Amino acid sequence: MAEIKSTLDLIMERTKHMQLSPEEKAEIRLRETSGTVRGWLQKFADGLLSPETLESLYAEASGKSPEVRNLMRAALIERISLDGENMETLALIERLLDVPASPLKDLVRSFRNKRKRLDRQGRDAARAALADYGITGGAVVPNPSLDPARPDALAKLEAAFLKKREALSARL
């Protein structure tokens, strides 16, 4: 009688003579290391890893694998946003990578100021539109988010921020 084979048995039988190329092995190792680094940072963000523990894990992994530094740099810089609180991430950049975070702080500050100017322009435009209808006074609080051009302007601002952040990342 014929034996019924599981899907796993069939796959194992068909792939037993296959081998990974060195490039494929390197890609798998890089993907696994990237996942490990991102996992550390998520645990740190969740409060499950202390800065000291993260630093020791990073130091140990850096000794074994030279690409850990680049992966950590990329993952940390990816966490810097216009809307978020970036102080812990910037402190980790200084602590783990031993590079000054001031250029990144300046970048975030600059783009937050640009967003404030955009908000102010939207409020002024809304106030002027209300004044055209005869609505004026100190109690008038215009909503800049109702400006139809605002989503596009914010998207452009965010795209410019991401582009500058990546350019700065390459220099760190």
pTM value is 0.76
Cα torsion for 50, 54, 59, 62, to the nearest 10°?
A: 180
Specify the higher pLDDT residue, 2 or 95: 95
Tokens of 57: 């894990």
Lowest mean pLDDT among 23-27, 99-103, 113-117, 151-155: 23-27
* Contact (CB, 8 A) for 72 and 58: yes
Q: How far is CA 49 from CA 31, 67, 82, 86, in A?
A: 22, 22, 25, 17
pLDDT (tens digit, 9 = 90+) per residue, 60-108? 999 888 899 999 999 999 999 988 889 999 999 999 999 999 999 999 9
- 1 pLDDT tier (thresholds 50, 70, 90): very low
